[in-house]
Chain A
């Protein structure tokens, strides 16, 4: 990540003042958008889980922007089914089964 950042910074050195101002403007806009969607309150996917977790207990769900894309017994199954539907980076979450404890480890 640091290397990518350094590369971007290096490239900005050749920008004109106007281009640099435009870049700053766009980055600020991106940051504001990210802030508003950035999960300070639960993301749409977490809101979906709150509402539907009991219906899909014991399964992996693949979600995108608060919508169910696919379901699978394993993460691979849910991921591949989401990809078949054209969603590459679905948010994948396992919902524990009703009779399954969430274990904290240690």
Chain B
């Protein structure tokens, strides 16, 4: 049985690099900042470096505090509502900014990103297919 999916966008990425990354912009009010984030289906939420939240003028510690587990321990992060923009798509979402300023990863996780898009990955050719989920 064949299954056919149609996507609105094709994003090319460097399959020679570590991880599958796309450019994202986070926005709060009139402030915004753009950076590269890795798609991580194993991450419960979208988690970003503290500096990105600070660039938006957000008081990081005023958000919802949660402990995030990793294979080697855990760290604290704070949830905030921001607008997430990528490839001409934008939606309000919850993202977590790490408390530790030395935390240097940015991941697009399952809740807040993956549950709002439809993706197809052809890693062999470095192609990411993307559509916004519209119910």
B30-A35 in contact (CB<8A): yes
Partner of A46, one of B40, B57, B94: B94
A103 to B73, CA, bound (A): 10
Query: How many residues of chain B get a CB closer than 8 Å to chain A's CBs?
Result: 42
Q: Tell whether A46 pairs with B81 under 8 Å between CB atoms, given A103-B69, A106-B42.
A: yes
Sampled A-B contacts (26; CB under 8 Å): A1-B90, A38-B28, A38-B29, A38-B31, A39-B28, A39-B80, A40-B28, A40-B59, A41-B62, A42-B80, A43-B81, A79-B135, A89-B92, A91-B92, A94-B111, A94-B112, A94-B115, A101-B69, A102-B44, A102-B45, A103-B42, A103-B43, A103-B70, A104-B107, A105-B43, A105-B44
Q: Tell whether A49 pairs with B57 under 8 Å between CB atoms, given A38-B28, A39-B80, A94-B111.
A: no
B58 at the interface (CB under 8 A from A): yes
A104-B68 in contact (CB<8A): yes
Interface centre among B57, B69, B111 (most CB of A within 10 A): B111
A103 to B41, CA, bound (A): 10
A93 to B41, CA, bound (A): 16
A72 to B90, CA, bound (A): 23
B98 to A, closest residue via Cβ: A104
A31 to B31, CA, bound (A): 10
Which 4 pairs between the two chains have the least Cβ-Cβ distance? A38-B29, A105-B43, A105-B40, A94-B111
Residue pairs across A and B with CB atoms within 8 Å: the count is: 106
A95 to B116, CA, bound (A): 16
- Complex contacts, A104 vs chain B, CB 8 Å: 43-44, 47, 68-70, 75, 107
Partner of A83, one of B66, B80, B135: B135
